[in-house]
A and B are shown apart, each in its own frame.
Chain A
């Protein structure tokens, strides 16, 4: 298993170089120039040219890329073109917000999705099953930002139960931290929750119809024992397989949600860096998010061993 994980990790390393290269190429093709942002209001072409020269923005893409890779290998992701702060510090400061949000959304997605799927599969084709299917379809169809706005309007503005925007770190207290996560976390977690629901419900349907389950039922095992001890673990395999994708999906979705709720996380940092062509920050964000997806996928691969003993061999 360890060898397998090691191989997967080695295979993922080139990805950490290729993705930033793509970002370099794409941002080079996109219109926009960090020098004009840095030059401020009403800049003269001379000032813009001087800034371009100072930042080395006129150097060839490959040269700038190699320079970045060289520094990144030494743990230096550079400094922001706009704020002159170290990119590592900026990412570290905002990581807590995004990780809290993603964690909340993923826990919600798994817990709510599994609960809904289990409830629905108790009576296949029944009213609850159809209702769950219907609700999950709606959650998939409606965009997260819309959910976000509706939730804020209802629970922050109308009932004033939860904060309308912002974020508090865990160090400020559990409730302040949680209260700032509930609305954005629900908005972000509904889509993956619905996907988990449908996927697990479908997998459970197949497993519950399989011979070994029928055999277990025939032996007189209770419905609960059959479901939780013998069926759920097997039905989880396809769900776990795509859990890595769900994390990537939630990480991407956090960009919009962080803006709606004005959360100082990595998503809003990424948006600012794109709008301002702050390339070092954008590359730092891309490297971080790529690493997260790689690590999560690796963990998913390793978790196969738990769900599927054949993989352990």
Chain B
């Protein structure tokens, strides 16, 4: 089965070309420019973000936050567009074997790494084998479904898969897992990929200087296979953790583009945008703020208690904490995704009386509400604790350091956690694996979803065939109240009026960015 639709890929390319020509529309509209304008090929974009960046080696990238820095220097096998569609990158087509035993990738024939090494099937093999074997590799787990890499010809590679696994690989290849490094650089011990990758990539830009956790400076690559990207002379990506400082940077012209997500920053950015000081493109966050529950711990083993918790939470009250920038949402996948449930009604709407009666029916309950101190979940956690207390649940707050809450929840240390880390993956098989069956292990009754998950992960099925299967899994998850979705936050892409295409920043909806389409006008 050929996954991509060539016609759609062609349409995307055409739209991008039209945008380049100043026609706008499609995925590369000139939102942010307002009046359009001629592209300045000599412009340098100064971008600020909160994302940490400790190493430029794709295989050592442990956090999503660092990916935005890398995508400009390293091409990926597949890419993600702003609407979360998987589109061709270095791989032009990908096909699963009818029995799911392998995934075959057809590769571009016109790509060279900046050090002159041709990109081919051997390069893919070298990169995947490096990712699987490198000490401290952060992508080893992502590549675990691949048992062997077979070079079919110079531009075709076949990935042998663990039986029944690997359906998520095309989407995973759009992250650092699919980033290709020159085999020459891989085999040269003098190349320090983490700190000075130089010409080791084939991306639209080349890293010229890097200070970990501070700044990455890039210049445009001398030639690039995709004419729609790499339209700036250079990019300076600076880490500025404080949102208000980032906003001040754009406001004063010290930087050109940034992203903000805190409610105060969004309100301020909107005011500035209303005065035409800056432009702002609002993107709904893909992540869902909600409550994780361990249905096998404490009083949460009782379904009535979990249901009461779900009924006690008022998404509108939480949204108000964010000045309305956290839109109430009661599903597990964004509405535009094929994996979202159509016409679904959440079974536990806000109903305080119902929650009270459920708690009375089990003779009371006690829970600890864990959250990451000093983050945007602190206020929601406080409101949720008050809501639980109001319906008769003895709820106590448990603030923990920001770096601790997720790993310790995963380790089983907490029974209930308020977090915005539910990040639906591009492929739902990955989501089920991460949150329900493995890593977070929210599905305490595995038998309720395991067989459906295996069936849904069959790569020979189409999205239309998989969607109803995932709908069953999501329904079970929500009915069991293993996770209570509350709302989706907003990300603002804020730029100076000179910056073009701020409405076409893939990944902005998960709080990071792919600036490949950004340009600046004269």
The answer on A and B forming one complex is yes
Which A163-178 residues have a C-beta within 8 angstroms of B?
163-166
> Does B54 contact A40, Cβ atoms closer than 8 Å?
no
> Does A33 contact B404, Cβ atoms closer than 8 Å?
yes
In the complex, chain A residues whose CB is within 8 Å of the CB of B248: 152-153, 156-157, 164-165
> Does A39 contact B214, Cβ atoms closer than 8 Å?
no
Contacts A31-B401, A85-B212, A272-B213 given; indicate if A42 touches B410 (C-beta within 8 A). Answer: yes
Minimal beta-carbon separation of B238 from chain A (angstroms): 8
Q: CB-CB contacts of B144-158 with A at 8 A, as 1s and 0s? A: 000000000000000
Minimal beta-carbon separation of B179 from chain A (angstroms): 16
In the complex, chain B residues whose CB is within 8 Å of the CB of A33: 403-404, 407
> Does A262 contact B404, Cβ atoms closer than 8 Å?
no
Which A68-89 residues have a C-beta within 8 angstroms of B?
82-85
B54 contact from A41, A82, A156, A275, Cβ within 8 A: A82
Q: CB-CB contacts of A137-151 with B at 8 A, as 1s and 0s? A: 000000000000000
Contacts A32-B403, A259-B242 given; indicate if A40 touches B63 (C-beta within 8 A). Answer: yes
Contacts A41-B62, A42-B434 given; indicate if A264 touches B403 (C-beta within 8 A). Answer: no
Minimal beta-carbon separation of A160 from chain B (angstroms): 6
User: Is B383 in the interface zone, CB < 8 Å from A?
Assistant: no
Q: CB-CB contacts of A21-49 with B at 8 A, as 1s and 0s? A: 00000000001110011111111110010
> Does A275 contact B245, Cβ atoms closer than 8 Å?
no
B403 contact from A83, A153, A166, A275, Cβ within 8 A: A275
User: Is A277 in the interface zone, CB < 8 Å from B?
Assistant: yes
> Does B407 contact A36, Cβ atoms closer than 8 Å?
yes
User: Is B194 in the interface zone, CB < 8 Å from A?
Assistant: yes
Q: Assign chain B's interface to a size class.
A: 35 or more
CA–CA, A313 to B310, complex, Å?
A: 79
User: Is B271 in the interface zone, CB < 8 Å from A?
Assistant: no
CB nearest neighbor in B for A261: B245
CA–CA, A27 to B415, complex, Å?
A: 26
In the complex, chain B residues whose CB is within 8 Å of the CB of A100: none
CA–CA, A91 to B282, complex, Å?
A: 39
Contacts A160-B252, A164-B245, A164-B252 given; indicate if A276 touches B55 (C-beta within 8 A). Answer: no
Contacts A165-B240, A262-B240 given; indicate if A44 touches B439 (C-beta within 8 A). Answer: yes
Which B42-101 residues have a C-beta within 8 angstroms of A?
54-55, 61-64
In the complex, chain A residues whose CB is within 8 Å of the CB of B55: 83-84
In the complex, chain B residues whose CB is within 8 Å of the CB of A38: 62
User: Is B360 in the interface zone, CB < 8 Å from A?
Assistant: no
In the complex, chain A residues whose CB is within 8 Å of the CB of B254: 163-166
Interface of A is mostly: loop
Total count of chain A residues near the partner, CB < 8 A: 37
User: Is A93 in the interface zone, CB < 8 Å from B?
Assistant: yes
Q: CB-CB contacts of B213-257 with A at 8 A, as 1s and 0s? A: 110000000000000000000000010111001001101111000
User: Is A298 in the interface zone, CB < 8 Å from B?
Assistant: no
User: Is B411 in the interface zone, CB < 8 Å from A?
Assistant: yes
A277 contact from B249, B403, B421, Cβ within 8 A: B403
CA–CA, A42 to B401, complex, Å?
A: 15
> Does A264 contact B401, Cβ atoms closer than 8 Å?
no
Q: CB-CB contacts of B176-205 with A at 8 A, as 1s and 0s? A: 000000000000000000110000000000
Q: CB-CB contacts of B389-424 with A at 8 A, as 1s and 0s? A: 000000000001111101110110000000001000
User: Is A287 in the interface zone, CB < 8 Å from B?
Assistant: no
CA–CA, A157 to B247, complex, Å?
A: 10
User: Is B440 in the interface zone, CB < 8 Å from A?
Assistant: yes
In the complex, chain A residues whose CB is within 8 Å of the CB of B214: 264
In the complex, chain B residues whose CB is within 8 Å of the CB of A103: none
User: Is B211 in the interface zone, CB < 8 Å from A?
Assistant: yes
A259 contact from B63, B195, B241, B249, Cβ within 8 A: B241
Question: Which of B54, B240, B249 has the most chain A CB within a 10 Å cutoff?
Answer: B54
CB nearest neighbor in B for A33: B404
CB nearest neighbor in A for B277: A157
> Does A157 contact B242, Cβ atoms closer than 8 Å?
no
A31 contact from B138, B194, B404, B410, Cβ within 8 A: B404
In the complex, the 6 A-B pairs of residues with the closest C-beta atoms, listed nearest first: A40-B62, A36-B407, A83-B212, A164-B248, A45-B411, A83-B54
14 residue pairs from A and B, CB less than 8 Å apart? A31-B401, A31-B404, A38-B62, A39-B407, A42-B410, A42-B434, A42-B440, A84-B55, A85-B195, A156-B248, A164-B251, A165-B249, A166-B238, A261-B245
Known: A157-B252, A277-B403. 20 other contacts (CB 8 A): A31-B404, A32-B404, A36-B404, A36-B408, A40-B138, A41-B62, A42-B410, A42-B434, A42-B440, A44-B410, A45-B407, A45-B411, A83-B54, A156-B248, A157-B251, A160-B252, A164-B252, A262-B238, A262-B245, A272-B213
Q: Which residues of B contact A (CB under 8 A)?
A: 54-55, 61-64, 138, 194-195, 211-214, 238, 240-242, 245, 248-249, 251-254, 400-404, 406-408, 410-411, 421, 434, 439-440
